[in-house]
Amino acid sequence: MTYIEGFVVAVPAANKEAYRKHAADAAAFVKEHGVTRMVETWGDDVPDGKVTDFRGAVQAKPDEVIVFSWFEYPDRATRDACNKKMMSDPRMEAMGTSMPFDAKRMIFGGFEALLEDGQPGKAGYVDGILIAVPEANRQAYLALASKTAPMFREYGATRVVETWADDVPDGKVTDFRRAVKATDGETVVYSWIEWPSKEARNAGWEKVMADPRMRFDMPFDGQRMIYGGFAPILDL
């Protein structure tokens, strides 16, 4: 199944176009090295949480916006080879000197796909989600996702992807585990839902939440789940 490199970044709002250009310039470079799809989304409906949230995940400042983005690869071997090639490419060093955000607070990591419902395509809107899940509950989580993903598709989503942490490093300032306050024995799930538009997303969620099939016990601590709505600024 697809292998994912997931990212969450805090970007100054004033740098939106500079960030989009930076990502667009990098797109041809990363696709040259094996990326099959690259998506960058800009925070649009990203709520503050009581325990965890996207802004806390990357220590966002008041003037910064959250970017939720990912690379898709056919498998981990391709991803590992891609990263090795990129690290030895002089163009990578050049791009590293002109990033329009604080890279020290970027969180990133490799995730293996647990579930993919729907085909990749141009998304009009994206729900991004991070969850701390006990490693022992992997099958329970997959069973739950297998029930809910078709419901989201029924109510208008074009694609649902659930991924399980596979190569997620600890960071000096921020990282995925700290983002969701993961404890010993827990891992990180990085997932997203693609919609045709924000309007379709809002209508879809209203129907999903009213559906009695959504009543179930969660195999994780819902209070530490991070979520938000994002508008794509690049999808290649």
Cut 0.75: pTM above it: yes
Alpha helices in the chain (DSSP H): 16-32, 54-57, 76-87, 90-96, 138-154, 176-179, 198-210
Alpha carbon distance 227, 229 (integer Å): 7
Q: What pLDDT is recorded for position 120?
A: 86
SS3 194: strand
Q: What pLDDT is recorded for position 89?
A: 76
Alpha carbon distance 80, 170 (integer Å): 18
Average pLDDT across each block of 10 residues of the chain; the chain has 236 residues. List them in order: 95 97 87 91 97 98 98 96 84 74 96 95 95 98 97 98 98 97 98 98 98 94 98 96
Show the tokens assigned to 33.
């090295």
Q: What pLDDT is recorded for position 95?
A: 67
What does residue 171 show for φ and ψ, rounded to 5 degrees? -110, 165
